[in-house]
Amino acid sequence: MTAPLVVFFVLAALAVIGAVSLILQKHPIHSALSLIVVMIALAGLYLLLGAEFVAAVQIIVYGGAIMVLFVFVIMLLNAGIEEHTSISKMAGAPGLLLVVALAGFVAATIARSTDSIQGTSQTGEMSSTLGISSMIFKEFVYPFELTSFLILVAVLGATVLAQREKS
């Protein structure tokens, strides 16, 4: 039981507990907090994988901006404890079975793959930030510019949607 393995299991357990808590909590704000826990656990896993830039971006963007947006909307809309109607209870049991089947199928396929890739110890000598930035601005520059356009469209869309009706 080496140290990375122990850390992996701790972080994986944290992520799974967070995801299960997202499902089991009744109030949306508690679900949001559970999702934040999942994201922090995933950031830890990215650090374990040597992707430090992605881990930092995950916490800053996902944990510090997107989830804040969710929390704001939950607070603004005064979302209360959600009610479960009979339809949702009916969908619960077969849904659980199907999801277990899906996840189990994927996991079994992967686990049975004979060449279990161990992974290289380090992705090259240069730090991941340097590598990622040189890739973004050389090979992926076109998608990069497109994402800036996408963000502009999203900002405009959100502004238009949030406007009050001009009566």
Partner 1 sequence: MNSFLSTNAELIITLVKIVMLLFIVLTVNAYLTWFERKVVAHMQSRWGPHRVGPHGLLQPLADGVKFLFKEDPTPAGVDKFVYYLAPLLSLALALTSLALIPFGPEPLPWKFFGQPIYLGIAPPDVNVGILALFAITAMGVYGVALAGWSSNSKYPLLGGLRSSAQMISYELALTMSVVGVLLMAGSFNLKKIIEAQAHHPEWGLFGWNIWPQILGFFCFFVAAVAETNRVPFDLPEAESELVAGFHTEYASFKFAMFFIAEYTSMITVSCLCSIMFFGGWLSPFPASWTFTHYLPSAILIPFGLWVIWDGIRYETIFGRILLPGLGTAFAALGAVFVLLPDVNLFIQGPFWLLSKIFVFLFVYVWMRGTLPRFRYDQLMAFGWKLLLPLSIVNVILTSFAILAKMTWWGTK
Partner 2 sequence: MVPTNYYVILSAILFGLGVFAFIFKRNIITIFMSIELMLNAVNLAFVAFSQALGKLDGQVFVLFVIVVAAAEAAVGLGIIILIARNRQTLNVERVDLLKL
Q: Does 16 bind partner 2 (CB under 8 A)?
A: yes
Q: Which of 27, 22, 24 is closest to 41 using CA atoms?
A: 22
Q: How far is CA 85 from CA 16, 20, 94, in A?
A: 26, 20, 16
- Among partner 1, partner 2, none, partner that 49 touches (CB below 5 to 8 angstroms by kind): partner 2
Distance CA 116, CA 125 (A): 24
CA 98 to chain centre: 22
- Among partner 1, partner 2, none, partner that 127 touches (CB below 5 to 8 angstroms by kind): partner 1
Sign of the C-alpha dihedral computed for residues 7, 12, 15 and 16 taken in this order: negative
Nearest approach, Cβ of residue 69 and partner 1 (Å): 9
> Which string of x and - marks every residue 110-139 that binds partner 1 (by CB under 8 A)?
-----------------x-x----------
Q: Does 48 bind partner 1 (CB under 8 A)?
A: no
Nearer to partner 1, 14 or 127 (CB): 127
What is residue 15's DSSP assignment?
H
- Type of residue found at 149: F
Q: Can you tell me which of 12, 30, 79, 131 binds partner 1, judged by CB under 8 A?
A: 30
Maximum separation of any 2 CA atoms in the chain, in Å:
67
Q: Does 92 bind partner 2 (CB under 8 A)?
A: yes
Q: For binding to partner 1 (CB under 8 A), which residues are involved?
A: 27, 29-30, 33, 36, 52-53, 55-57, 59-60, 63-65, 68, 71-72, 75-76, 127, 129
